Chain A
Amino acid sequence: MTSTNSASVAAVEAHSSEFLVFSLGEEEYAIDILKVQEIRGYENVTRIANAPDFIKGVTNLRGVIVPIVDLRIKFHLDKVEYGGQTVVIVVNVGERIVGIVVDGVSDVMTLTPEQIKPAPEFGVTLSSDYLSGLGSLEDRMLVLVDIEKLLTSEEMAIVDHVSE
């Protein structure tokens, strides 16, 4: 199990946590690796009518119907293309499974608390509410996204807020 694995890792490297790094356009983003279920290709997505444009539709993940969100559209990137290289990160948020489309997945990083800086107040497209900080790593800067907060937020329209 991933949880026990990472728990022992965490015990060794006290307080540091692991992040999955992915790219959207020129930026590098990172999410808590414990939220990641799997990474797969972008295929066979059924469109849902009358949904926001960044919700690409739903797909069949071994019998489970999973919505697919394109973060590139959500973050207003200029270039949104789908091809053999398009990657979907399947994440577990709350009780739900959601797939997010990104430009590419680069690596898994371990960040110590010292390397995580608080997120500055910025951005209209990506409110700092959904950021858990900025990771500085030598010459790289990672935007740490609180994926759970982001995907369950009202503006993502994945969770029915009326009924909950």
Chain B
Amino acid sequence: MDISDFYETFFEEAEELLGDMERHLLELDIDEPDAEQLNAIFRAAHSIKGGAGTFGFDVLQQTTHLLENLLDHTRRGELALRRDIVDTFLEAKDMLHDQLDAYRNGAEPDPEAFERICKTLQTLALEEMGKSVDGGSDSAAQPTVAVEPKENAEPSVEESSEPAASKSADVAADSGRLSVALIDVSEKDRETLVEELGNLGKVLDQQGDAKRYVVELETNASRGDIEAVMCFIVEPEQLEIQTAAPAQAVVDSVAETQDTPSDAKQEASGGDPQTPVPVANKPPAAKTKPKANSNAKGGGGESTSIRVPVDKVDQIINLVGELIITQSMLDQTASELDGVSHGALVNGMSLLQRNARDLQEAVMSIRMVPMDYVFSRFPRLVRDLAAKLDKDVELVTEGKSTELDKGLTERIIDPLTHLVRNSLDHGIETPDAREAAGKSRTGKLTLSAQHQGGNILIEVVDDGAGLNREKLLAKARSNGLSVSDSMSDDEVWQLIFAPGFSTAEQVSDVSGRGVGMDVVKRNIQSMGGHVEILSRPGEGTTTRIVLPLTLAILDGMSIKVGEEMYILPLGAVLESLQPTAEDLYAMPGNDILLKVRDEYLPVIAVQEVLDVEKACTAPTDCIAVIVQGEGRRYALLVDDLVGQQQVVVKNLETNYRKVPGVSAATILGDGSVALILDIADMHRLSRTKQEARQTRLPAVSNKPLPFKEVEPS
């Protein structure tokens, strides 16, 4: 097996790790960073570095290496966090992401960007480490003082555990003589290194050649510090640090590379989430226990999930779908049998049915991922945007564990991002404006998700200024949309979904170009969902997205037209009725309107749009199904309603092409294929068909047109 077969796994893992890293960085309390979070960030960087090294992604490895070193110091409390440092880390994380993408696409990462980020990290390291190393030597002079508790904590944890023996050398070297061997280092670099070492302590002796150059050093700095500083110039493999003092030489027989100690430390400190970093005053015995526990937990956590390609899952779903179809075919046959003489069979069939449904449900749940997957990318966005817009915004997420089909989560991200941007840009006011309005300076943006029946409800709530009715109406007028002052609020809010609509007075680079909301709406509708807006002036705006839980199964209503069977998505069906001649109004151009209560709805005959033969043609003989698609209501004329059923959605485009008026297909209980109608597309198709040829429906009524505002169709 070629190693490149594992690339994809690495990329996915690295991406997740970067996501974790970002989340932790954002959650980090700068003044009092949580040790566990710092460890988690460090671990993420470390794992990526390891993987990148294995697969030979050098640039990625080097960048993570630099970042890892800085993080290592941060988590050991040697580097005080500041907002700009976190920003640098975030920037580095973005860069890693870019590099990952480049490798994924089989390209080399941008060398300039690499150089830039390296320089930034190195500068940060040199500046900050210079400070902290000074601090370190101060405290080492009075080793009993608690300024350096982490250094002390390390050995105390490790002394009590088995593999600690060799590690203690790392820290035991705290003060004393070190012999630093530089292997294969060019003369120029060597000079820099020796100079660097001189900053850390006193160079006692230096000798050797380019192959192996040994520097004897008297220093208070730990080996880790020396390595951290040096490895900005040389690779860790080029470095050998040994304690020169004879007393310590016993434990230090192995020349360690920089990785090994940090692995061990990572285990020791990372494995124990409860223990804060400064643990020097705790008895060592107490420390080993939680460590062992959490290691066991950690091990268990890894084995509870497996990584499976989506197409394998889809294949299972497909097969289960087939099983259900076969089961219902059998069921039909069995139901014709005599229940008394075939009792066992009938019982078996009902058991099979139950099991098959359970299996289907279980399999479908594999595709479900928590909304956290979506929400987790917003803290960064909100943070960056708020800073850019000079606004104070607090992001609250609710219902992170609500589950949604994986395919949908990926598609909801873009529309949701747009809505969040809009809320930040147009919704939430500047701190001053908020104060003037009697609100707290910090705006609140809430992202929430919850289940409601077979749907998921996702809301973007801001406590900003709300939508401005007058402004929207004025804007709509100037855009040439037909509006009236008597429109309800809901209708006015819907205006923002019109193409090219933006009420922002100034186009910012955040939003306001007016190309957004109509796309948002279209995207969500293409997922079978819809968007609602609730807004109160001065109190804020809520955008509510309602989506079906999955795209793989659809609640459908089967209808019959002529001899053919079609499926309508049940979500689009409002009601059905038998039209009477009095309720039908003929319009010029062969259109027919159907009056349902106080509404006049355009009528579309399915048999006409889909050229079905032998279907009923007189509207009064048909059944009108009132449907809603893309915010438009109309009546579909069909021959008969057959029933409601859940259908497994099959893509037509796998082997064929997009069919106008049809969204997908499904397989019925008898094994035949039925097409699922696309409500919005049916309307378009009917338009184009009418324009293309002048077929006429029999005019049912000669009543004059009512002089009423008719919904534009």
Contact = CB atoms under 8 A, between A and B. Distances in A.
Interface of A: 44, 46-51, 57-60, 62-67, 96-98, 157-160, 163
A114 B659 CA distance: 44
Interface in B266-303: none
Interface of B: 318-319, 321-322, 325, 564, 609-612, 650-662, 665, 667, 670-675, 685
Return the 6 tightest CB-CB contacts between A and B, nearest first: A49-B610, A160-B657, A46-B673, A67-B656, A63-B322, A44-B672
Contacts of A59: 672-673
Given A48-B675, A60-B671, A65-B650, 16 more contacts: A44-B673, A46-B665, A46-B672, A49-B609, A49-B659, A50-B611, A58-B652, A58-B665, A58-B673, A63-B319, A63-B325, A64-B654, A65-B654, A66-B655, A157-B657, A163-B658
29 contacts: A44-B670, A46-B672, A47-B564, A49-B609, A49-B610, A49-B659, A50-B611, A50-B659, A50-B660, A51-B659, A57-B673, A58-B652, A59-B673, A60-B667, A63-B322, A63-B650, A65-B650, A65-B655, A65-B665, A65-B667, A65-B673, A96-B656, A97-B655, A98-B655, A158-B657, A159-B657, A160-B653, A160-B657, A160-B658
Given A63-B318, A65-B652, A98-B655, A49 B661 contact: yes
B325 to A, nearest CB: 8
B672 A50 contact: no
A58 B656 contact: yes
Contacts of A51: 659
A60 B660 contact: no
Most buried by A among B611, B651, B652, B659: B659
A44 B655 contact: no
Contacts of A47: 564
Contacts of A157: 657
Contacts of A46: 564, 665, 672-675
B549 to A, nearest CB: 22
Contacts of B659: 48-51
Nearest to B565: A46
A164 B671 CA distance: 31
Contact of A67 (B321, B650, B655, B671): B655
A63 B316 CA distance: 12
A49, A58, A62 interface centre (most CB from chain B within 10 Å): A49
Interface centre among B653, B671, B673 (most CB of A within 10 A): B673
**Residue from A64, A66, A97 having most chain B Cβ neighbours under 10 A:** A64
Contacts of B609: 49
A160 B318 CA distance: 24
B649 to A, nearest CB: 11
Nearest to A98: B655
Given A46-B675, A65-B665, A96 B654 contact: yes
A67 B656 CA distance: 6
B656 A65 contact: yes
Contacts of B325: 63
Nearest to B323: A63
Nearest to A67: B656
A60 B654 CA distance: 13
A163 to B, nearest CB: 7
B80 to A, nearest CB: 55
A50 B684 CA distance: 14
A103 B234 CA distance: 76
A51 B675 CA distance: 14
Contacts of A98: 655
B676 to A, nearest CB: 11
Given A47-B564, A65-B665, A60 B672 contact: yes
Nearest to A58: B673
B673 A60 contact: yes
A128 to B, nearest CB: 26
Contacts of B655: 64-67, 96-98
B519 to A, nearest CB: 19
Contacts of B670: 44
Contacts of A96: 654-656
A98 B651 CA distance: 14
A49 B673 contact: no
Contacts of B662: 48-49
A163 B653 CA distance: 11
A151 B167 CA distance: 68
Given A60-B667, A63-B318, A158-B656, A49 B612 contact: yes
Nearest to B650: A65
A66 B650 CA distance: 11
Contacts of A65: 650-652, 654-656, 665, 667, 673
A63 B654 contact: no
A160 B319 CA distance: 27
B568 to A, nearest CB: 15
A62 B673 CA distance: 11
B482 to A, nearest CB: 32
A62 to B, nearest CB: 7
B567 to A, nearest CB: 11
A63 B656 contact: no
Nearest to B656: A67
Contacts of B653: 160
Nearest to A93: B655
A147 to B, nearest CB: 14
The interface centre, meaning the residue of B609, B650, B685 with most chain A CB atoms within 10 A of its CB, is B650
B623 to A, nearest CB: 19
A59 B650 CA distance: 12
Contacts of A49: 609-612, 659, 661-662
A59, A60, A98, A157, most chain B CB atoms within 10 A: A60
A44 B673 CA distance: 8
A55 to B, nearest CB: 8
Nearest to B652: A65
Nearest to A55: B656
Nearest to A159: B657
Nearest to B613: A47
A46 B169 CA distance: 77
A108 B660 CA distance: 39
Contacts of A66: 655
